[in-house]
Structure 1
């Protein structure tokens, strides 16, 4: 019989690429991960990994087993969701327990307070715990069980990477704006952005989706932005724009209450926010309740 915990490790190796990365993420030693994967190979009776120097790659059998592991782990999530629903029905006391939520900064400020207030009114026994995380960190933390639900976003020029371990439902679609201190006259996104090709730009930290969106949108317009400041908080970004420190792309949630003197030019590009969770967990009562609270906050 194949051990489910070892199947999780094999799946993580498929996602992360190295045993060292799996060990660091799951707070094990690399040798412990190697021992568990070796034991899984003995259980499977076939080589799952091919070792080349310090690197390992999955064999065809290993790749196939990862696909089966995804299906097995999804069914386990479904079982856990059904059992949680049964416990709730039998107790008659409503939902209880901890629900761990990941959210990017704009959503933490603009969406979560109202959503958590609604959740507290409907399900006072639930204990939400929020971690502010960039969407690029969400998938591994959901897979590892560190988060139960997460708000993630994607941009027109930065689509979400598919992950067979996760599922998601749409929450919000918001337009993007170009923030400047002078009105712009260009028609169309490319022409509008080109009017700022020689200006200094303000973008998020490299490695984030917001940073990639700024760079790719400008490149699509025909130039590479000269980034002067790296700032993740959109309120701070707009304050910097207001004092002439540069121009910036900001989503609608980040453009609320702009400082005096800042002009927001609407673009046709969008940012889309989704609620992500482990595949199979969509029917868990706590996940259902949180999604309902988030949608009520958007309304």
Structure 2
């Protein structure tokens, strides 16, 4: 019988590429991960890994097993969700991840509605960049997360994660009539490696230039404060631009940011997940969109 915990480690190896990366994500030692994967090979009866020095790659049989692992782990999530529903209403810890704008604007009213309707639930919120959500969900560090995607940035696909659309909002450019007009300006963007940063760079490239990025700032309130101080221009989403500082002008662009709820594939019918998503939708009706 194949052990689902070992299948999870094999799937992580297929995604992350090294034993060390899997060990860090799973909070195991590299030696423990290697031992678990060796045990999985014995259970499978065929070589799953090809070891060359310190390099480990999956064999064709390993890749085949990873494809089946997606289905096995999804079915286990469905079974867990069904058992939770059989126990009654949602209760216990609910680990929610969210990006800063959602944490500030959407989650407070959503949490009021969620805990009011389901007092047995204990929501625990962690701010996290959407780029890191899939790994946190797969590792079981989060149960549900608010993520976003932008025009110019294709959504990150992950066979182990499902998403449910929540709402869309327009993007604005500060202090200029068009992105092309900001060719010579200093720019304020998020940190490299984030979706916000990638969106800003690609929007400028689509306008025919590479932006001169002077500041890397994650929080949009701080971004707008820097814009007001004459430190550069920026792209900001609608929910971050409801009350801009005095002197900052905003031009609506034909670009959008879309917010979604993300959760492990197969876990979408878990009563706690459904309750959280229902609370998100209820809170959205009161947002100034």
TM-score higher than 0.5 = yes
Task: Measure the CA separation in 2 of the matches of 1:2 and 1:86.
Answer: 27
Give me the whole-angstrom Cα distance separating, in 2, the residues matched to 1:231 and 1:62.
41
Shift of the alpha carbon at 1:95?
A: 2.5
Partner of 1:166: 161
Alignment match, 1:244: 230
3-state SS of paired residue (1:290) = helix
Unaligned runs of 5+ in 1: 89-93, 185-191
**1:153-181 Cα shifts (integer Å, max 9, x gaps):** 1111112211010101001111110012x
How far is the alpha carbon of 1:53 from its aligned partner?
2.6
Residue from 245, 257, 264 that aligns with 1:259: 245
Structure 1 stretches of 4+ with a deviation exceeding 4 A read none
Match of 1:279 in 2: 265
Partner of 1:48: 48
Structure 1 residue aligned with 2:197: 211
Q: Cα RMSD (Å) of the superposition?
A: 0.9
TM (norm. structure 2) is 0.97
Distance 1:30 1:39 in 2: 14
Alpha-carbon separation, structure 1, partners of 2:257 and 2:184 = 25
The residue matched to 2:193 in structure 1 has which SS? coil
- Partner SS for 2:87: helix
Question: 1-side partners of 2:236 and 2:101: how far apart?
Answer: 11
**SS of the counterpart of 1:128?**
strand
TM-score (norm 1): 0.94
Q: Which residue of 2 aligns with 1:134?
A: 129
* Secondary structure of 1:195 counterpart: helix
Among residues 97, 106, 109, which one is paired with 1:111 in the alignment?
106
Unaligned runs of 5+ in 2: none
Q: Corresponding residue for 2:278?
A: 292
The equivalent residue for 2:9 is 9
- Number of residue equivalences: 285
Match in the other structure for 1:72: 72
Give how far 1:85 is off. 0.5
